Structures are given as C-alpha cells and as structure tokens.
C-alpha cells in the first residue's frame, strides 16, 4: 500500500511512480487480497492463502490483546483490510497513507467504526505526529521502502513510539503465486518490480522481499529486538521493539 517518500535520492522517481500506481489501483487493490480476477490461482492455492491470512490475523489479535493500547498508528493503511481489525481493539487509531483514494475506501469499509479513526493523507518521510504511539502497525508496506531508506524509516518509527512501544508488521514472502497471473517476479534479491493494472497500464515500484532471518538481523543491527515468522508460502509477520524499551 502507498505511503509517500519525500526525501531526495535516486529512488525519488521510482517512489513517486509507486504512489501513482497505488492511487490508480485503489479500486482494484482488494482483488489481490481477496484472490479475485487476475489474482485467483485456483481453489487449492486460494485456500492455502486464506489459511495463512488466518495465521497472521490470529498473531495480530494476540498482539492487540497482550496489553492495553491507548494509541496506535497504522502506516500505509490503504483500503482498510487491516484497519477494520485494529480499530475495535485500541482507544485511538491514526490511519496514515499517501493515497486519498485508498483512505476513502478505508473509511467506507469501516462504517461506524470510522469514527474511532483519525485519517491522515501525508508524506510518511516528512510527516511529524502530534503524539507518540503505544503501537505501530504496517501491512505490506516495509517491502516498499527502498533499501537506502530502511535505516531512516526504522529511526522514525522508533521516535514515534512511547517508551515500551511495539511494532507489528506483515508483508509478502517471495512466492510467484502471491501476485497476479500476468505478473513476473524478478528474483528474490531484486529491489523493484513491474506491476500492471486491469486496464493494462504498467508501473515500476519498489519491492524488497524480506525473510525473518535477514530482517531480524537488520533490526538487531539497528537496536531492535524482534520475533518474526514466515507462513509456509506467502507471508512474513511478527513484532519488534527497540532494545532500549526493555522488550
């Protein structure tokens, strides 16, 4: 899902194209998660996908129940597929995204629950929150952070957490059947990929496939403790906290 990167680097144009893609894709984004249209890989694969989504959802529910959460930030909140799970379990939820089109769908999806959410359309790399958060969640966002901005992103996340605050994340594993039938992945070490819309328009976006082992090592280097897992095929998920928080 889209979140705007405003820093200056060789990746600026690629990230801008990524934002344009997710804005244009807003009305068809859910087809990917729901395994519809070009993302339907057949009954067996779809059933495996749903089972692995359930595994991640159960882990997120455990995270939400582990301790009371007064304030939570969702980065790249998108169309609300995860927002609807977060909102009933926290006192205050802030949903941040660079694409107003996806946040409009998010608000509609939540219905009466939208009253519990503060929606913000903003550039994640220049936005400064007015408060710190007990927890931060990002679904399918970390893979869209260019490698050269990885350290800076996690530094910002650390600054936005209250003492003892924690992060929960979910993202894509490298698995060809996770994307559309007409998409081609470009190798597990690639840092960008070409994506198309239903109308045939094509875009190049940032896509970095993390593994629990490699991501855990990178987070340890930055002073985070993490518990990360992978489902059998499709997803990476888990929690992290700054080491200084006593987690």
User: At 6, is the pLDDT very low, low, confident or very high (cuts 50, 70, 90)?
Assistant: very low
Res. 4: pLDDT tops 80: no
User: What average pLDDT does range 102-127 have in this prediction?
Assistant: 94
Domains of the chain: 12-245 (3.40.50.150)
User: At 123, is the pLDDT very low, low, confident or very high (cuts 50, 70, 90)?
Assistant: confident
Res. 247: pLDDT tops 60: no
For the stretch 129-170, pLDDT in tens is 999 999 999 999 999 999 999 999 999 999 999 999 999 999
Enumerate residues 6+ apart whose C-beta is below 8 A from 218. 150
Can you give the pLDDT at residue 244?
Answer: 72
The number of angstroms, rounded, from the C-alpha of 8 to the middle of its chain's C-alpha atoms is 22
User: What average pLDDT does range 14-22 have in this prediction?
Assistant: 93
Can you give the pLDDT at residue 88?
Answer: 97
| pTM reported for the whole predicted model | 0.93
Can you give the pLDDT at residue 195?
Answer: 95
Res. 225: pLDDT tops 50: yes
For the stretch 63-113, pLDDT in tens is 999 999 999 999 999 999 999 999 999 999 999 999 999 999 999 999 999
Place of tokens 């694409």: 99
* Token pair belonging to 7: 């820093």
Mean pLDDT of the chain: 93
Res. 59: pLDDT tops 50: yes
CA-based torsion, 186, 124, 154, 30: positive or negative: negative
Res. 179: pLDDT tops 70: yes
Can you give the pLDDT at residue 47?
Answer: 98
User: What average pLDDT does range 23-49 have in this prediction?
Assistant: 97
| Cα–Cα distances in angstroms (integers) from residue 135 to residues 19, 29, 32, 67, 90, in the given order | 25, 25, 27, 10, 9
For the stretch 140-149, pLDDT in tens is 999 999 999 9
User: At 10, is the pLDDT very low, low, confident or very high (cuts 50, 70, 90)?
Assistant: low
Cα(145)–Cα(153) distance, integer angstroms:
8
């Amino acid at each position: 899902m889209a979140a705007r990167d405003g820093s200056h680097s060789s990746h600026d144009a690629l990230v801008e194209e990524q934002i344009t893609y997710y804005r244009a894709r807003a009305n068809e984004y859910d087809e990917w998660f729901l395994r519809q249209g070009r993302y339907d890989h057949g009954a067996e694969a779809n059933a495996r996908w749903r089972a692995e989504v359930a595994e991640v959802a159960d882990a997120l529910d455990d995270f939400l129940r582990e301790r009371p959460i007064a304030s939570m930030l969702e980065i790249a909140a998108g169309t609300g597929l995860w927002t609807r799970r977060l909102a009933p379990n926290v006192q205050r939820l802030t949903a941040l995204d660079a694409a107003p089109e996806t946040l409009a769908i998010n608000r509609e999806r939540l219905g009466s629950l939208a009253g519990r959410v503060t929606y913000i359309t903003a550039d994640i790399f220049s936005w400064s929150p007015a408060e710190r958060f007990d927890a931060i969640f990002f679904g399918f966002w970390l893979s869209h952070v260019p490698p050269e901005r990885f350290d800076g992103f996690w530094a910002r996340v650390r600054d936005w957490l209250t003492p003892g605050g924690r992060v929960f994340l979910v993202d894509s594993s490298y698995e060809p059947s996770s994307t559309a039938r007409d998409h081609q992945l470009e190798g597990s070490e690639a840092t960008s990929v070409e994506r198309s819309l239903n109308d045939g328009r094509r875009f190049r976006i940032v896509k970095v496939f993390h593994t629990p082992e490699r991501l855990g090592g990178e987070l340890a280097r930055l002073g985070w403790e993490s518990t990360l897992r992978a489902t059998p095929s499709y997803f990476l998920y888990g929690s992290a906290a700054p080491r200084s928080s006593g987690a």
